[in-house]
């Protein structure tokens, strides 16, 4: 998936202008997109750049000075996303958390871009809201399903007998690239790193929720049936800081910062222009969801994904099949 530039896309190249004007405009747009070098324009945060996709290629269409948006509602986005529960009030869902703010808002400076306004007018606020970590490029994903059988070696027998014990869905490994081409993308990567660091730790010490384990997260991706709002715990997280790329100075989210007008601040972070984020998620299902909501025939029909037409804020799709064998669609996520 292409990275959209850090520039509100309402300044289409004027092909009727002279060649010199077109070259100047192209260079200016390139600089604005790569480093956010226009001090008179509010920067669009990276999660709104990655907010919508039309087809597998994604992208905008421009016609003259207008932006034509042909994206589906955000809650039906097919890209890989990791989110908290919809009713969570911690981490990026805490309004006082500036560090994780890029994971919950459209713009780091609370200025909604012309593109987001256009999408909002088309789809309403439900199509505008973006939450959680979106992998900006198609990541590598591995899902393993296992049926375990216990061998029984019988005396005076030519073949070992195998007796079924259980089935399990193994850890899901996800590895994807993140790029930092400007301040906003850097703040998004920084928020992603701190979010994954946080969901691998328990609530402890003076925390009001002390004693609680790391929170459940929900995994969505690739449409309706592949990763259908899967409840998971994060068992590992790694971020590689390569030595062969440039590093960008990224200020703390929430601060007023302009590279042309403001000197570098001390509370900033150096992040690589290209790096790899890898996580391991273990699907977990409650006993009551399994015993009262699961039947194999309904699972095989794709009826246990989610409630029908239940597109939610976590980018979850709704099942088109209704359970016929006693299954109960709910939060879904059965793999």
| Beta-bridge partners for 274 | 179
Q: Do 298 and 327 meet the contact criterion of CB atoms below 8 Å apart? A: yes
The predicted structure's pLDDT at residue 47: 42
Q: Which of 138, 145, 123, 124 is nearest to 81 (CA)?
A: 138
Which H helix or E strand runs over 334? none
- Find the radius of gyration of the CA atoms of the chain: 23
- The torsion angle over the Cα atoms of residues 240, 43, 122 and 86, rounded to 10 degrees, is 50
What global pTM score does this model have? 0.71
Task: Enumerate residue ranges in the chain where pLDDT < 70.
Answer: 1-18, 22, 25-76, 105-130, 255-267, 307-318, 329-332
d(CA 328, CA 84): 23
Give the pLDDT score at 29: 61
Domain boundaries, the chain: 19-141+171-284, 286-335
Q: How far apart are CA 298 and CA 303, in angstroms?
A: 5
**Count of residues for the chain?**
335
- In tens, the pLDDT along 25-65 reads 666 665 554 444 444 444 444 444 444 433 333 333 334 44
Measured CA to CA, the distance from residue 223 to residue 238 in angstroms comes to: 26
Which pLDDT value is given to residue 149?
96
Return the closest-CA partner of residue 60 out of 99, 3, 105: 3
Report pLDDT for 223: 80
Nearest partner of 182 among 23, 49, 27, 26, judged by Cα: 49
DSSP secondary structure, 218-275, as one string: EEEESSSSSEEEEEEEEEEEEEE--SSS-EEEEEPTTS---TTTSPPPSSEEEEESEE
- Please, are residues 116 and 44 in contact by the beta-carbon 8 Å criterion? yes
Neighbours of 198 (CB within 10 A): 18
Contacts of 234 (CB under 8 A, 6+ apart): 82, 196, 199, 200, 214, 217, 279, 280, 281, 282
CB neighbours of 151 closer than 8 A, spacing ≥ 6?
Answer: 160, 161, 162
How big is the CA angle at 200 (ends 138 and 145), to the nearest 5 degrees?
55
Q: Which two tokens stand for residue 331?
A: 């939060």
**Residues facing residue 148 across a β-bridge:** 166
3-state secondary structure of 164: strand
Per-residue pLDDT at 156 = 92
């Amino acid at each position: 998936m292409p990275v959209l530039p850090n520039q509100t896309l309402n300044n289409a190249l004027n092909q009727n202008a002279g060649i010199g004007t077109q070259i100047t405009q192209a260079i200016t747009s390139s600089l604005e997109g790569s480093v956010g070098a226009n001090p008179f324009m509010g920067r669009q945060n990276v999660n709104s750049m990655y907010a919508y996709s039309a087809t597998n290629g994604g992208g905008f269409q421009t016609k003259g000075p207008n932006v034509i948006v042909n994206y589906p509602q955000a809650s039906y986005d097919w890209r890989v996303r990791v989110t908290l529960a919809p009713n969570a009030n911690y981490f990026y869902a805490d309004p006082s958390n500036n560090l994780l703010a890029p994971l919950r808002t459209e713009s780091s400076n609370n200025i909604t871009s012309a593109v987001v306004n256009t999408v909002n007018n088309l789809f309403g606020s439900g199509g505008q809201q973006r939450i959680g970590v979106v992998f900006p490029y198609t990541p590598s994903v591995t899902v393993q399903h296992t049926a375990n059988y216990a061998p029984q070696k019988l005396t005076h027998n030519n073949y070992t007998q195998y007796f079924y014990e259980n089935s399990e869905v193994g850890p899901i490994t996800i590895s994807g690239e993140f790029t930092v081409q400007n301040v906003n993308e850097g703040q998004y990567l920084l928020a992603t790193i701190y979010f994954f660091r946080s969901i691998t730790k328990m609530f402890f010490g003076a925390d009001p929720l002390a004693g609680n384990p790391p929170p459940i997260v929900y995994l969505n991706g690739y449409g309706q049936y592949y990763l259908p709002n899967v409840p998971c715990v994060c068992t590992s997280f790694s971020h590689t800081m390569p030595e062969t790329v440039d590093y960008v100075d990224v200020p703390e989210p929430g601060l007023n910062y302009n590279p042309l007008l403001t000197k570098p601040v001390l509370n900033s972070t150096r992040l690589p222009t290209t790096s790899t984020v890898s996580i391991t998620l273990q699907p977990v299902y409650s006993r009551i969801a399994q015993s009262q909501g699961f039947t194999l025939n309904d699972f095989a029909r794709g009826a246990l994904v989610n409630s029908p037409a239940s597109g939610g804020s976590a980018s979850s799709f709704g099942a088109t099949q209704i359970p016929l064998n006693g299954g109960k669609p709910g939060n879904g996520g059965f793999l």
